[in-house]
Amino acid sequence: MLNCKKAEPILVVGSVALDTVQTPFGQAKEVLGGSATYFALAASLFTPVRLLSVVGQDFPRKYLRRLQLHSIDLAGLQVLPGKTFRWTGRYRENMNEAETLSVCQNVLGQFPEIPAHYRESRFVFLANTDPLTQLKTLEAIEAPQMVACDTMNLWIRTQKTVLKKLLRKVNILIVNDSEARMLTGKVNLPTAVWALLAHGPKTVIVKKGEHGVFLCTNGELFAVPAYPLHQVVDPTGAGDSFAGGFLGYLASQPRFTPREIRRATVYGTVVASFTVEDFSTRRLEKITLKDVETRFQEMKRILKF
């Protein structure tokens, strides 16, 4: 059974959003979303989480209470005058790709104040948000020990220079397959991964949605298929939930051996499999570490040969 006694708190910076999502299975309006939200809820299964983000005055109190229920530290979640970041998107038959219908940045462009105790965090996740915010956050941390980051096509297109500067400072890069290709100009994934390693991170993780995860750490490859689900209701947040499960597990373990990184990848995969079973964070909020452990053991059976 999983032992999380040595859990280190993780600081996550990223978006907290109100999402409106349509999938072949229905829709959800102005529901809790955002990269930092999914990450925080996923990681909080394993370890304490410190959330750094901004929301507007319209952000529903019930969502704050739901995050607090998971012992997520909200000292760094600032409520600013204005409206919360909103994302509206749609998934069609191919649930692997979101189609963005609208994005309203609103208060998200403003940099949150970093509470003093956040600066002592040794684990940091720079969830998908603009690279300048990611870099500024990282520079405010006193002695980061394990830094992971994500990004998206928009920043690769518009802020590649800052992004590359950031990559030199992170230990783990977690991106999806199209981002890996876009960042490197390489179509072949293993080749793209080698090219990304040359930018700085010791570990590069490529998320392939329903096709699982591909990883290179210390020169060793590792691959995990996704947990097989009979129904994917809403893929939103799968990647951030993966990152939360991954880094949450790592932060709860005394060592970062290649074996632990591999196990962390499977924990990330399993946590993400719950997220996509319902809209927003509904399913993710309901699970316990025991549910995660059950699917982890199932993955062991599925992958054994």
Q: Number of C-alpha atoms within 13 angstroms, CB side, residue 267?
A: 28
229 is an interface residue for a second copy by CB under 8 A: yes
Nearer to a second copy, 109 or 228 (CB): 228
Nearer to a second copy, 50 or 181 (CB): 181
93 is an interface residue for a second copy by CB under 8 A: yes
Q: Are 14 and 36 in contact (CB under 8 A)?
A: yes
Residue 116 buriedness (CB in 10 A; 0-12 / 13-18 / 19+): exposed
Q: Shortest distance, CB of residue 2 to a second copy, whole angstroms?
A: 14
254 is an interface residue for a second copy by CB under 8 A: no
Task: State how far Cα 253 lies from the chain centre.
Answer: 19
For the record, the structure tokens of 115 come out as 């509470």
Nearer to a second copy, 115 or 212 (CB): 212
**Whole-Å CA distances, 67 to 36, 41, 223:** 11, 7, 32
69 is an interface residue for a second copy by CB under 8 A: no
3 is an interface residue for a second copy by CB under 8 A: no
User: In 3D, which of 57, 80, 55 has the Cα closest to residue 67?
Assistant: 55
Q: Shortest distance, CB of residue 230 to a second copy, whole angstroms?
A: 5
228 is an interface residue for a second copy by CB under 8 A: yes
What are the residues whose beta carbons fall under 8 Å from the beta carbon of 185, sequence distance 6 or more? none
Binding to a second copy in span 256-285, by CB under 8 A: 259, 262-263, 265-266
Spell out, one character per residue from 168 to 197, where the chain touches a second copy: x when CB under 8 A holds, - when not: -------------------xxxxx------
Per-residue DSSP letters for 110-177? Answer: SPPP--GGGGG-SEEEE-SS-HHHHHHHHHH-SS-SEEEE---HHHHHH-HHHHHHHHTT-SEEEEEH
Q: Shortest distance, CB of residue 208 to a second copy, whole angstroms?
A: 7
Q: Number of C-alpha atoms within 13 angstroms, CB side, residue 31?
A: 17
Using CB under 8 A, which of 231, 255, 288, 290 touches a second copy?
231
Q: Are 89 and 21 in contact (CB under 8 A)?
A: yes
Count, residues near a second copy per rule CB under 8 A:
32
211 is an interface residue for a second copy by CB under 8 A: yes
289 is an interface residue for a second copy by CB under 8 A: no
Residues found near a second copy in the complex (CB under 8 A): 93, 187-191, 208, 210-212, 214, 220-225, 228-232, 259, 262-263, 265-266, 301-305
